């Protein structure tokens, strides 16, 4: 850490404001109305249908399902299921689909995936429950043609991300969804990086399931996520418990959304998600999308002035920019930015090891990711800092 120590001691960060650029992991800060709604939720008894006689309070689950259906243009609000995270959702869907199929089958995923997809599939493949093919990405994208090359007679499941958390690239999901629907293949779309970040119309994308998380671009708290499931019969329930309905039966209810929701919901998390959705509606999805791309373009324009900075996506679709600095380990670069400039980034493999095998020999990179609440001034300051670190590394 010799260079890190030199640059760290050369600056005094006590007066430097914090610049948070790890929004692809968890967005921060949250809009004030999100925090206010959580406080309001905690100050009143929870509206628990079938579980309590309390009334006159907000039915957060129902209101949030309606808000999700509005933002994502889904036809059935009751088919939105709340979970603890996108990881939780993907596990429930993947394991639930395998349970429903019973016999081993062939599944497909891609090099762009997060470990939330790769690890459940790898685990099930190791247990002999499925065989797995991984489709390569070219220039940050996976095409329908590449997916079709991996199809076998026994293919029953495709799981793929809509937006890469490393490259910021969007995948053209609709043709893949249409192909899967026509060939009786269940498609799970990981929308952890896209929900709230770009316009999404689930009524026009015939995917079997769409996964989202609340704590990223939907501005909610950590601990809330979910999925939209078009056909409840396509996936078996892997959790059973109290639902507040049909309590005389020892069998878990099969109605939506109770089929996949057992136990007490995370009411504060759902309240935060509701407030985040209302914030997006008020600000406008198109405006949020445009600002994210503008911030990425501004940052890239500034850091490209130094040839020692290697960009992995010159024009990302999402506000995610990944790079490395020549002759400087990515962890060391992140350390310098944090300690000497008070700038929070993300370094390493970003829980997506296969894409790093393709782009940087598995060494990892520095990632900055912007929020709608990130300012252009913060963006410029961060770019200046990255260039300064690169200049120091080159000396």
The answer to whether residues 51 and 169 belong to one domain is yes
Out of 226, 255, 283, pick the residue that ends a domain.
Answer: 283
CA dihedral 19, 27, 123, 130 (to 10 degrees): -130
Query: Residue 186: pLDDT band by 50, 70, 90 thresholds?
Result: very high
104 has pLDDT over 90: yes
Alpha-carbon torsion (285, 288, 292, 295), positive or negative: positive
8 has pLDDT over 70: no
The answer to whether residues 159 and 183 belong to one domain is yes
Please state the rounded mean pLDDT for residues 136-154. 96
Please state the rounded mean pLDDT for residues 112-129. 98
The answer to whether residues 20 and 37 belong to one domain is no
Out of 217, 249, 283, pick the residue that ends a domain.
Answer: 283
The answer to whether residues 132 and 249 belong to one domain is yes
- Report the distance separating Cα 200 and Cα 174, nearest Å: 11
**pLDDT score at 55:** 60
The answer to whether residues 224 and 273 belong to one domain is yes
**pLDDT score at 349:** 97
Query: Residue 9: pLDDT band by 50, 70, 90 thresholds?
Result: very low
**pLDDT score at 251:** 81
pTM: 0.94
CATH number of the domain residue 126 falls in: 3.40.640.10
**pLDDT score at 58:** 84
The answer to whether residues 294 and 358 belong to one domain is yes
> Which pair of tokens denotes residue 178?
């249409």
**pLDDT score at 15:** 65
The answer to whether residues 174 and 290 belong to one domain is no
**Which domain does 263 fall in, by range?**
32-283
The answer to whether residues 271 and 126 belong to one domain is yes
Return mean pLDDT, the chain: 93
2 has pLDDT over 60: no
Please state the rounded mean pLDDT for residues 72-93. 98
Please state the rounded mean pLDDT for residues 343-347. 98
- The pLDDT tens digits of the residues spanning 36-59 come to 999 999 998 876 665 554 565 789
Please state the rounded mean pLDDT for residues 89-93. 98
Which residues touch 121 (CB under 8 Å, ≥6 apart)?
A: 94, 107, 109, 130, 132, 159
Q: Are 7 and 392 in contact (CB under 8 A)?
A: yes
Phi and psi at 47, nearest 5°, equal: -80, 105
Please state the rounded mean pLDDT for residues 277-301. 98
Please state the rounded mean pLDDT for residues 313-321. 96
| % of the chain at pLDDT higher than 70 | 93
Lowest mean pLDDT among 54-68, 180-194, 222-236, 369-383: 54-68
The answer to whether residues 260 and 366 belong to one domain is no
CATH number of the domain residue 322 falls in: 3.90.1150.10
Q: How many domains does the chain have?
A: 2
Please state the rounded mean pLDDT for residues 103-129. 98
Please state the rounded mean pLDDT for residues 6-12. 49
> Which pair of tokens denotes residue 206?
């015939």
The answer to whether residues 164 and 64 belong to one domain is yes
Out of 234, 251, 283, pick the residue that ends a domain.
Answer: 283
The answer to whether residues 365 and 257 belong to one domain is no
**pLDDT score at 53:** 45
**pLDDT score at 192:** 98
- The pLDDT tens digits of the residues spanning 205-255 come to 999 999 999 999 999 999 999 999 999 999 999 989 988 778 888 788 889
The answer to whether residues 84 and 212 belong to one domain is yes
């Amino acid at each position: 850490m010799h260079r890190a120590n030199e640059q760290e001691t050369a600056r005094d960060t006590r007066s430097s404001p914090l610049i948070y650029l790890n929004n692809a992991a968890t967005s921060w800060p949250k809009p004030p109305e999100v925090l206010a709604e959580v406080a309001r939720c905690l100050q009143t008894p929870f509206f628990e249908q079938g579980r309590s006689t309390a009334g006159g309070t907000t039915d957060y689950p129902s209101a949030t399902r309606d808000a999700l259906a509005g933002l994502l243009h889904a036809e059935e609000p009751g088919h939105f299921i709340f979970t603890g995270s996108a990881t939780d959702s993907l596990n429930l869907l993947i394991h639930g689909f395998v349970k429903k199929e019973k016999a081993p089958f062939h599944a497909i995923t891609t090099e762009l995936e997060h470990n939330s997809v790769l690890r459940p599939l790898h685990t099930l493949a190791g247990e002999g429950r499925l065989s797995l093919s991984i489709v390569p990405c070219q220039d940050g994208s996976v095409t329908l043609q590449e997916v079709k090359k991996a199809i076998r007679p026994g293919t029953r499941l495709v799981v793929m991300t809509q937006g890469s958390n490393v490259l910021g690239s969007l995948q053209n999901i609709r043709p893949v969804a249409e192909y899967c629907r026509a060939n009786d293949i269940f498609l799970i779309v990981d929308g952890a990086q896209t929900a709230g970040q770009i316009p999404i119309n689930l009524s026009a994308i015939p995917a079997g399931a769409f996964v989202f998380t609340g704590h990223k671009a939907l501005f909610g708290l950590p601990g809330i996520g979910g999925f939209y499931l078009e056909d409840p019969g396509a996936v078996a329930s892997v959790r059973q418990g109290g639902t507040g309905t049909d309590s005389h039966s020892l069998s878990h209810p099969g109605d939506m959304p109770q089929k996949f929701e057992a136990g007490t919901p995370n009411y504060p998390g759902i309240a935060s998600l509701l407030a985040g959705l209302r914030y997006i509606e008020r600000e406008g999805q198109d405006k949020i999308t445009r600002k994210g791309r503008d911030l990425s373009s501004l940052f890239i324009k500034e850091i490209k002035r130094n040839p020692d900075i290697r960009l992995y996506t010159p024009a990302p679709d999402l506000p995610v920019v990944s790079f490395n600095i020549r002759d400087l380990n990515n962890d060391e670069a992140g350390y310098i930015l944090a300690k000497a400039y008070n700038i929070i980034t993300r370094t390493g493999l970003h829980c997506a090891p296969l894409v790093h095998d393709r782009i940087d020999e598995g060494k990892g990179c520095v990632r900055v990711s912007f929020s709608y609440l990130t300012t252009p001034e913060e963006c410029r300051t961060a770019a200046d800092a990255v260039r300064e670190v690169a200049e120091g590394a080159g000396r």
